[in-house]
Chains A and B, each alone.
Chain A
Amino acid sequence: MSSRKKVLLKVIILGDSGVGKTSLMNQFVNKKFSNQYKATIGADFLTKEVIVDDRIVTMQIWDTAGQERFQSLGVAFYRGADCCVLVFDVTAPNTFKSLESWRDEFLIQASPRDPDNFPFVILGNKVDLDNRAVSAKRAQQWCQSKNDIPYFETSAKEAVNVELAFQTIARNALAQETEAELYNEFPDQIKLNANDNGRNRDGDNCAC
């Protein structure tokens, strides 16, 4: 893994409409905030070079529309994702409740190689507002119950924790990417492991 070839990390931002996906992306990439971002229609992405553990990597951050009915078209953009960022609005409990279905939906549509260990990061956004309705504790508990997903409380408006969150996103995405390279080198080994995982998942499905 010491190869110095150019690394592109594909990151997908998901979450309900109006939680601040576009704002977070723009705060991270352009260091800017605006109240005037329009609702995202279709999909768009921004790229940024970051340094992770002395490696220069390019993050390609994808932003899609949040309204549920547009998700069937978002699928085309999930392919090959290295990390998925799920965003909710700490002032809107519904957006927190949706996290689970966003996660499930992503796993179904993106069909990552190893769904149990696919990197997610959760962002509770808009912590600058006073009318908070989802406590940090509640959010953390949920993240812990989901295989210890990293959780950050952010404000895209005031640039709180945005840099830190995206550093983690990049690091986890890079780990995923590195694993993928390993997999390609030893395809046979993986088959066995992945197969076991697949069976477990199957069991889960039956219980639903």
Chain B
Amino acid sequence: MSRSSSLEDIPDQCKDLFTQDGVLLKACLGRPVTDLNSIGMLCIVQNPDQTKSIEWRPNDLITIDSDAQDQEWAVVNTIGITMSFAKGRRQRTLSGNITSDYATARARIIKISLDELKTFRVTRNNQQMQFSTKPGVWQTTFYFQHGNAEIFVAYLKNHIKTAKTRHDRNTYVVVEPNIESQVLNRSFAELDIFTENTTDVVWNLMSNLRQRPYETTMEAFSKLTDIVYYGNEGMNGKRDVSEEVADLLTKSMSAIEDSTTLTRTDEYEVISVKPTLPPRPSIPRGTPLSTEKWDGLQDTEGRVTEVEGVKQLIFRGGVAHSIRQSVWKYLLDYHPWHMTHAELRALTKKRTEEYFSMKLQWRSMTEGQEARFSEYRDRKSLVEKDVNRTDRTHPFYAGDNNPNLVILQDILMTYVMYNFDLGYVQGMSDILAPLLLLLGNEVDSFWCFVGFMDKIASNFDMDQAGMKLQLVQLQQLLLFASPELAQHLAQKDSGNMYFCFRWLLVWFKREFSYRDIMRLWEVLWTELPCANFHLLICVAILDAEKDILISKDYGFTEILKHVNDLSMCLDVDKILSTAEGIYHQVVSAPHLTDQIRVILGLPTLNISTSTHSESEQASTSKVENGTDRNERNMFGQDMDEGTLEYNGIQISIVTKTVWALLA
């Protein structure tokens, strides 16, 4: 979705006030059936005469290409488009293009004037909307594929006055159309939050394309190339483009020269530079945090003071198995680092009591109570079903009447009482099983599980928003770090990255053995070297499969199968090392975008727009600043960094403190 306060209004053009992607046209009176069941964008638009309408545009009106150098126009998946509009991203080239079916598609636009709209209703879990301009007939029916119609209705209500009917609370009757809209519009414009709307860009382009196709295309290409590679500066013409290119070339990230071409046309200079990542450093893994070091890191009373240093050591090499029981409690926020032994004992006592009182809440439920409490009953049965099929081949959980299954069940049921709103969601038993195996203790496992869930709770959202966001972010990271593969996936209907769903939901639990998943998780819990490092793990795994996926020209099903079949065939240390290498490649890339910075939790460079930095992706870093800043961010403020030079890139690996610890 995006809201618009378009700066340049072309007189004869409609202005989008609100748009929602992924809306399926289910039914429309008077339209041939071939028009139905197609996906499009539902908008509230302001017409040139200041009246307003609801407008639905089929998606095939807009094509988006991810690489301006390509001759062919590829339509990327709907979710991709949705999110890219929403974030206003620029890093991927956006361009409007007239397809051969343009006129046909144009004729398929559905327009309902707000002045004529009499009633509308929202049904099917808020996912379906129907409109009517005369009583008794629902003329059009739309289905909201992503999310629901709530936001659309909320915005629609800004432009019309409605009342709910008495007999049906899902039906709205329009009372006075278009009364308050003027005022509202102005206030949005004055707020000026959304400096530019990508949808507008596309629409402006389209209207221009009709009049002067060649020039517009060229202009678009050159502008977009500027945005992609040089950010706003290039766009505003403050800096000579060729000067920028020269700069880039001197930075000489090897292959750039070969991939730069300058084409002179009559009036326009088309510049195409393939952005190249710096070479990937190969960073060796370290040794696990040992018992001796761990003991040495605690003061006489048991406080851990060098938290950052400890985390870095764990990031580098994990934790020795013998001390995992202790260290994990810290990593999972059960034990605060700064507490003394005495304080921890008190905390443990308190948490133990708390746990058993919550456990009692469900243990004391009578059969009768349970019979009348369907929500509770459903959850209990879901937990039972899953516990009975969690890692049953592992000796710890194998066999009939295994007492560990009872503990697994008890912890998950108590978690239902701890967080009833979330309840039990499939995947949680996978998350808990290794914790219980390692910790062996019900109370400790519960609280560590709580800590782990706090880190990944959004994976289990009812609306799956957290998962969807991660899939989109993963796609964006891949596009930056491994563009060739990202493009292949997009062409094969796999740009939505659904085949990585299992990886993300349970943090790769199904892909590795117990030994390896413990290593991977403890590294990820350090939250180093950046936010969402688990997404870079995905990128690392996929990048290693790139050649197979592309050379065998795998399609949607083969990609999914191939990825599913990687389970238990992955080398955790190699992947961690690759992911770290990719991290360094990405953050030191001259064309690093704010969009990627946001995903990795790095400070964005566009400070003035920090409140909506996600929608401002066009800026380009000064290479030197960008790198410094990112590296600093990696280890906090204090540190004198120990650096390693690799192919001309300075890489901060560990701080002095950690060097000392390592010694």
Q: Which residues of A contact B (CB under 8 A)?
A: 17-18, 35-39, 41-45, 60, 65-67, 69-70, 72-73, 75-77, 92, 94, 108, 111, 191, 194-195, 197-198, 201-202, 205-206, 208
Task: Write the nearest CB–CB distance from A81 to chain B, whole angstroms.
Answer: 13
Q: Are A69 and B464 in contact (CB under 8 A)?
A: yes
- The proximity string for B residues 398-415 relative to A, scoring 1 for CB distances below 8 Å and 0 otherwise, is 000000000000000000
Is B112 close to A, CB under 8 A?
A: no
- Give the interface segment out of B192-200, B351-359, B385-393, B439-447: B385-393
Q: Return 13 A-B CB contacts under 8 Å, by A number.
A: A35-B392, A36-B392, A38-B389, A39-B389, A41-B510, A42-B498, A65-B426, A66-B426, A67-B382, A67-B426, A73-B501, A195-B33, A198-B33
B560 within 8 A of A: yes
Q: Which residues of B contact A202 (CB under 8 A)?
A: 27, 138, 141
Any chain A CB within 8 A of the CB of B427?
Answer: yes
A42 cross-chain contacts in B, Cβ below 8 A: 498-499, 501-502, 505, 564
Q: Which chain A residue has the least Cβ–Cβ distance from B563? A: A42
Instruction: For B32, give its contact among A69, A108, A191, A206 (CB under 8 Å).
Output: A191
In the complex, given contacts A36-B389, A201-B27, A202-B138, what are 10 additional A-B residue pairs having Cβ atoms less than 8 angstroms apart? A18-B386, A39-B429, A65-B426, A69-B461, A69-B463, A69-B464, A76-B496, A205-B130, A205-B141, A208-B124
Contacts of A206 in B (CB 8 A): 138
Whole-angstrom CA separation of A72 from B499 in the bound complex: 14
Pick from B389, B392, B498: contact of A73, CB under 8 Å: B498
Collect the chain A residues with CB atoms within 8 Å of residue B130's CB: 205
Contact at A36–B393, with CB atoms within 8 Å? yes
Contact B386 A39 (CB under 8 A): yes
Tell me whether B33 and A35 are in contact (CB under 8 A).
no
Q: Does B145 contact A (CB under 8 A)?
A: yes
Is B27 a contact partner of A94 (Cβ separation < 8 A)? Answer: no
Name the CB-closest residue of A to B127: A108
Nearest neighbor of B138 in chain A, beta-carbon distance = A206
Contacts of A198 in B (CB 8 A): 27, 33, 36
- Which interface residue of A37, A42, A198, A201 has the most chain B CB atoms within 10 A? A42
- B506 contacts which chain A residues (CB < 8 A)? 41
Interface contact A94-B557, CB-CB below 8 Å: no
Hey, which chain B residues are within 8 Å of A94, CB to CB? 378
Interface contact A35-B464, CB-CB below 8 Å: no
B146 proximity list for chain A (CB < 8 A): 72
Q: How far is the CA of A60 from the CA of B463 in the complex (A)?
A: 28
Residues of B within 8 A of A39 (CB): 385-386, 389-390, 426-427, 429
Contact for A69 among B24, B425, B557, CB less than 8 A:
B425
Query: Is B120 an interface residue, CB under 8 A from the partner?
Result: no
The residues of A that contact B385 with a CB separation of less than 8 Å are 17-18, 39
For residue B138, which residues in chain A have a CB less than 8 angstroms away from its CB?
Answer: 202, 205-206
Residues B389 and A70 in contact, CB atoms below 8 Å apart:
no
Q: Is the CB of A67 within 8 A of B425?
A: yes
Whether, in the assembled complex, B610 has its beta carbon less than 8 Å from a beta carbon of chain A, the answer is no
CB distance from B553 to the nearest CB of A (A): 17
User: Given the complex of chains A and B, what is the CA–CA distance between A93 and B620 in angstroms?
Assistant: 59
- Chain A residues contacting B33 (CB-CB under 8 Å) are 191, 194-195, 197-198
* Contact of A45 with B561 at beta-carbon distance under 8 Å, contacts A17-B382, A206-B138 already known: yes
Cβ-closest chain A residue relative to B429:
A39
Candidates A36, A70, A108, A205; contact of B464 at CB < 8 Å: A70
Residues of A near B36 (CB, < 8 A) are 198
Cβ–Cβ contact A108 & B143, under 8 A = yes
Mark interface residues in B423-436 (1 if CB within 8 Å of A CB, else 0): 00111011000000
A contact residues around B386 at 8 Å (CB): 17-18, 39
Q: Which of B366-382 contact A (CB under 8 A)?
A: 378, 381-382
Check B498 against A35 for contact (C-beta < 8 Å).
no
Cβ-defined contact, A111 with B464, below 8 A: no
Asked if A41 and B427 make an inter-chain contact with CB atoms under 8 angstroms apart, the answer reads: yes
B123 contact from A44, A69, A194, A208, Cβ within 8 A: A208
Given contact pairs A70-B464, A191-B33, A206-B138, A41 touches B505 in the complex (Cβ within 8 A)? yes
Map CB proximity to A onto B1-35 as digits: 1 under 8 Å, 0 otherwise: 00000000000000000000000101100001110
CB distance from B528 to the nearest CB of A (A): 27
CB distance from B131 to the nearest CB of A (A): 13
Residues of A within 8 A of B461 (CB): 69
Q: In the docked arrangement, what's the CA distance between A69 and B468, Å?
A: 12
Q: How far is the CB of B499 from chain A (nearest CB, A)?
A: 7
Whether the Cβ atoms of B141 and A60 lie closer than 8 Å is: no
Bound complex: CA of A11 vs CA of B390, how far in Å?
27
What are the residues of chain B within 8 A of A194 when measuring CB–CB? 33
CB of B51, distance to nearest CB on chain A (Å): 28
Closest chain A CB from B449 CB (angstroms): 17
Residues of A near B26 (CB, < 8 A) are 205
Judge if B305 is at the interface, Cβ distance under 8 Å.
no
Contact B34 A38 (CB under 8 A): no
Please determine whether A41 and B501 come into contact, CB atoms closer than 8 angstroms.
yes
Task: Give Cα A46 to B159, complex, Å.
Answer: 51
Residues of chain B contacted by A75 (CB below 8 angstroms): 145
| B residues in contact with A17, CB < 8 Å | 382, 385-386, 426
A44-B143 in contact given A72-B464, A195-B32, A198-B27 (Cβ < 8 Å) = no
CB-contacts of B136-150 with A (<8 A): 138, 141, 143, 145-146
> Bound state CA distance, A108 and B36, in angstroms?
12
- Is B467's beta carbon under 8 Å from chain A? yes
**Binary contact readout B445-472 vs A (1 if CB under 8 angstroms, 0 otherwise):** 0000000000000001111100110000
Contact present for A69 and B462 (CB under 8 Å): yes
| A187 CA / B430 CA spacing, docked (Å) | 49
Q: Kindly list chain B residues whose C-beta atoms are within 8 Å of the C-beta of A66.
A: 426
Enumerate the 7 nearest inter-chain pairs by beta-carbon distance, A residue then B residue, closest first. A18-B385, A42-B501, A42-B502, A111-B37, A36-B392, A41-B502, A194-B33
| Bound: A76/B498 CA distance, A | 8
Whole-angstrom CA separation of A108 from B144 in the bound complex:
11
Specify the chain A residue showing the minimal Cβ separation from B427: A41
- When chains A and B are docked, how far (Å) is the Cα of A73 from the Cα of B147? 11
Q: How far is the CA of A191 from the CA of B388 in the complex (A)?
A: 50
| Distance between Cα atoms of A14 and B462 in the complex (Å) | 19
Min Cβ gap A124→B in Å is 18
A67 to B461 alpha-carbon distance, docked (Å): 12
Within the complex, the shortest CB–CB distance from A37 to chain B, in Å, comes to 6
Residues of chain A within 8 A (CB-CB) of B381 are 92
- Nearest Cβ in chain B — how far from A197, in angstroms? 8
Complex interface: chain B residues within 8 A of A111 (CB): 24, 37
Chain A residues, Cβ within 8 Å of B460: 69
Q: In whole angstroms, what is the CA distance A76 to B471 when docked?
A: 13
**Contact in complex: B34, A191 (CB < 8 Å):** yes
Instruction: Give the CA-CA distance A205 to B141 in the complex, in Å.
Output: 9
Complexed CA–CA distance, A77 and B385 (Å): 25
Closest CB of chain B to A28's CB: distance in Å?
Answer: 18
CB B345 to nearest CB in A, in angstroms, measures 38
Find A44's partner among B464, B468, B564 (CB 8 Å cutoff). Answer: B564
